[in-house]
Amino acid sequence: MAQWRPLPESTRPEMRLLVEELRHLKQTAGLSLAGLGARTAYSKSAWHRYLNGDNLPPRDAVDAFGALGGAEHHARLLDLWDHAARPPRPLAPPPPPPQPVGADPVPHPRSPLLRRPHRRTVTVVAALALVGSATWVAVPHSPATAPAAPAPLACRGASCQGADPAVSLCRTDARTQSALTTASYAVKLRFSPSCDTIWSEVRVSSTGADTESPMLLAPDPQRAEACAEVDHRMLCTGGVTQASH
């Protein structure tokens, strides 16, 4: 009796079932490879390859072989061959890898947003969706005012509107007009007398990172406030003059 080598693990299940059924029928019929070749018009070496799973046998070879085992074996072998001859189904693409979640995300700036005036107060809002994750929104209370293009290093008043205080001379004489400090963050209302501008500055305690909002025109800092939104609650500081810098 021929000793067949194990089929490779990469053999498709449909091919594996066909080969195992062919081996079983050969053993049941008691035919040698030479005798099988004589009955099916396929050579001994060809059947050696088929029964070792090296090649898919032609359908007419399986048809001739199946006829030797009776109608039941015949129909089963042809059905197995039809399944083995079908192309494999394409694999579904793997899901994208999960995005890493940092313990202390760094604040990300957002473009300035305009709002209508309310009680003549200029408000600079720092919206914090979660502690340690800051998104900035500058909210000037002046009608129909659009943020200006980035200002040069020297500016004053309206020419500073929407500019980054980090790249202007307004920080030279800037003072902390008011501050609100919690265990998670500190929000400050900053005022520059030489530029007549205000802006918000927030330090996230978990990262030590400072973030500043764009500047807004505010010649009177006592009519200004800086706010932070935490867990959908707005906390504000403003209207208190302090000497800290």
- Does 40 share its domain with 145? no
- Does 184 share its domain with 229? yes
pLDDT tens digits for 48-62? Answer: 999 988 899 999 989
The letter for the amino acid at 126 is A
- Does 155 share its domain with 221? yes
How many structural domains is the chain composed of? 2
Which spans in the chain are helix H? 13-29, 33-40, 44-51, 59-67, 70-85
Domain limits for position 149: 122-238
- Does 173 share its domain with 75? no
Average pLDDT over residues 78-99: 78
3 state SS of 35: helix
Question: Quick one: which of 174, 161, 205 has its CA closest to 187?
Answer: 205
In this structure, is residue 148 part of a structural domain?
Answer: yes
Token digits for 244? 């800290």
Per-residue CA distances from 231 to 8, 32, 125 (Å)? 58, 80, 14
**Mean pLDDT for the chain overall:** 75
- Does 169 share its domain with 69? no
Determine the pLDDT at residue 2. 59
- Does 126 share its domain with 234? yes
CATH of the domain at 57: 1.10.260
Token digits for 208? 């030590």
Question: Quick one: which of 16, 37, 41 has its CA closest to 26?
Answer: 37
More confident: 89 or 136: 89
pTM, 2 dp:
0.40
pLDDT tens digits for 196-229? Answer: 899 888 888 888 788 888 988 887 888 888 877 6
Q: Binning pLDDT at 50, 70 and 90, where does residue 9 land?
A: confident
